[in-house]
Structure 1
């Protein structure tokens, strides 16, 4: 049995660009590792010294099952990130908690029932983004112009009917030119940044595991680092521990200042290929926790 099991999913096989680099870096560090489907009942998770959640990209439609799995694994071996962190992070209503703590989060309106939808959808005059509070890979997410509020309401209603809360955000127009910036932290230390092109063109994204993304290397600005570092500090304080990995996704607000779009602590692509040495840094962080 390998020292480390990387939790993945069957649909992600061959699609995770981080995985081969991480496996090679762990091997170079003298640590055996392999990927396994988190939902495979035949996997002996307890036999590994550590389980690292990586490309479990199919968890969203069965979040309860996924979190139950995480708790079972954590009861028999070391799990990163911990089950409590996964539970908090897999419902995007954590953004409201971050905003209440004074962090610069993209403005968001929430609706947990049909009666709350009109206020949420009417919170902004311009384009809005509608998405579920529980989702991954930008699924069931779309951008709507002011004339498309009926269509936005229809998507929101479908999300509610699926048992998930709805979040509505203003579409920040500078995103079209700048895209998103992801800041990656490994074992509490800043590792690297990457750029991601804007995704939303007005239609809900398809049924695949994730949307096709354009990823590039990027240097984080001092303002972005300040926001990312503050978010990580807040996460560490709330969790009472430093997460093995964290990704803070930032977008430019209407004033150009960085705003937090998401904090990824569950199964984020860390885009290791764009940053020389990042796979080795992650492998070192994993090895230190064995």
Structure 2
């Protein structure tokens, strides 16, 4: 209760979004009422709105900043100027480039195998069989992402064109085997919020498959998703905790939230496909009392 009393009547918190969602995503708006109940005034703020004085806020919480990917350098430079940013700016810099998967894999985390195609590389050729996902290392909302069955000659051609397009635009490209279990089991996202003992599991959801074929572009900032609550298996929870424990530079101790996305690999064991520490959907509507738990984490951070 001490943290709640410390916040009453004295705290403004920025919930940071993008120009397409100036009043926040619908799910993020679920956080405003429980914060108000705890004496915290939460205000939606667009991250690149001119003239914003971030020192007006005791805490600035990154939420739906989903337009950052084409301006990633600008975004991470901006994050470094914001005092009391959650999650912190050095985490943002590290997590907005998916090469973090290599760091975690080297540390012992089970991750989806990834081949990297450097910007400007014109030598990559697709394998002659198998299903693969191609996407840029800096992306959000599954934009510029496609699924290719490389036994199909048209898919092989489109895959090569996709890589050339990204590499030609100076973007690092990821080529990963498609994990077929996403079509049946789905993807499990485990949501963690800061608590007295560190990051604590709040809830989990199941995401259905998103990718149906080659990249043909996305209208808007993200692909529509099929979401439902899920109870993670003991193995999924253990893998997620292992991933968080392997974070470098003491990041885990400074996180307000984290999302760990897992899909069963070919042997049925969960592997990490993404670790979302910057602007993940937190699916607050799908976890009982999840908005209240995140509000408590914010109040504790203020105190």
Q: Secondary structure at the match of 2:254?
A: coil
Q: Secondary structure at the match of 2:52?
A: coil
Contact residue 111 and residue 117 of structure 1 kept, 8 A:
no
In structure 1, C-alpha distance between the alignment counterparts of 2:119 and 2:129, rounded to whole Å: 22
Q: CA deviation at 1:14?
A: 5.5
Task: Identify the residue that residue 68 of structure 2 maps to in structure 1.
Answer: 59
Contact residue 139 and residue 207 of structure 1 kept, 8 A:
no
**Are 1:136 and 2:140 an aligned pair?**
yes
Matches for 1:1-290 after TM superposition, within 5 Å: 3-13=12-22, 16-73=25-82, 77-115=83-121, 118=124, 121-122=126-127, 125-146=129-150, 147=152, 148-187=155-194, 188-204=199-215, 205-235=217-247, 238-239=250-251, 241-290=253-302
In structure 2, C-alpha distance between the alignment counterparts of 1:86 and 1:111, rounded to whole Å: 23
Gaps of 5+ in 1: none
Distance 1:236 1:21, change over 3 A: farther
Distance 1:217 1:117, change over 3 A: farther
In structure 2, C-alpha distance between the alignment counterparts of 1:155 and 1:30, rounded to whole Å: 50
TM-score, normalised via structure 1 length: 0.94
| Count of residues in correspondence between the two structures | 285
In structure 1, C-alpha distance between the alignment counterparts of 2:89 and 2:240, rounded to whole Å: 23
In structure 2, C-alpha distance between the alignment counterparts of 1:281 and 1:110, rounded to whole Å: 38
In structure 2, C-alpha distance between the alignment counterparts of 1:139 and 1:234, rounded to whole Å: 28
Q: CA deviation at 1:161?
A: 2.0
Q: CA deviation at 1:156?
A: 1.0
TM-score, normalised via structure 2 length: 0.90
Gaps of 5+ in 2: 1-9
- 1:222-250 CA-to-partner distances (Å, cap 9, x unmatched) read 01001100111122654263310000000
Q: CA deviation at 1:158?
A: 1.1
Q: Secondary structure at the match of 2:163?
A: helix
Moved more, 137-146 or 2-11: 2-11
CA RMSD of aligned residues (A): 1.7
Q: Secondary structure at the match of 1:131?
A: strand
Contact residue 236 and residue 242 of structure 1 kept, 8 A:
no
Contact residue 205 and residue 229 of structure 2 kept, 8 A:
yes
Larger radius of gyration: 2
Distance 1:83 1:189, change over 3 A: same
